[in-house]
A = this chain, B = another copy of it.
Amino acid sequence: MGKKKNLIETAVRLFAEQGYDGTTTLQISREAGVTEPLIYYHFKGKEELFTHILIEAFDEYMGRMDALPCETPNEFTKIENLIHATQQAVKDMPRRTRLVMSSCPARIKDPKHVCHDRMIGIYEWHYDYLTRCLEKGIISGEFRDVPVAETAFVLISTINGMSRQHSLLDEDSIIRTRQAAVDFCRRSLMAI
């Protein structure tokens, strides 16, 4: 019986709902239907359980990003793909994405933390991905002549903001809003 998996899923849920400090090992074990010491059999401690979850989530998220096609008919398709992929990640694993996005900063500020590099990495990956898109699109004439760095930052903000507010939308709105976001960016970027 997957007691370990049960433990992890419960921890993911509670950490996402209540934060790391707001969640106790007793609560995790009880809601997972096991006893507390079992956490210490599978993990070195609460911190390692949390880190384990984070790393898994980071890697899953980055795996999705790395799977985005390199070859696309044009640069805007890359941006469209990114928006779809991030929104899909939120939809597929809302709690893990929530953890990656919101609870991290507080606990991973410390550069020595195992997840610190991953967190920086995700931001930089997005930044590089969008910067390269914009540069190529501007050169090719597909995009207007926008300030690359600043516009990339705005795009990341929009994507992150939407991920965070994801829970406010119902099933139908999600799809329409995703499309609205893509259109919003297209109109702004595409040369007339």
Contacts and interface: CB of A to CB of B under 8 A. Distances in A.
A21 interface: yes
A177 B161 contact: no
Interface residues of A, number: 43
A168 B153 CA distance: 10
Given A147-B176, A180-B153, A184-B146, A165 B169 contact: no
Contacts of A185: 188
A24 to B, nearest CB: 10
A5 interface: no
Per assembly, the copies of the chain total 4
Nearest to A188: B188
A184 B188 contact: yes
A150 B22 CA distance: 34
A187 B188 contact: yes
B184 A187 contact: no
Contact of A106 (B19, B165, B188): B19
Interface of A: 17-22, 102, 105-107, 123, 144, 146-147, 149-151, 153-154, 156-162, 164-165, 168-169, 173, 176-177, 179-181, 183-185, 187-189, 192
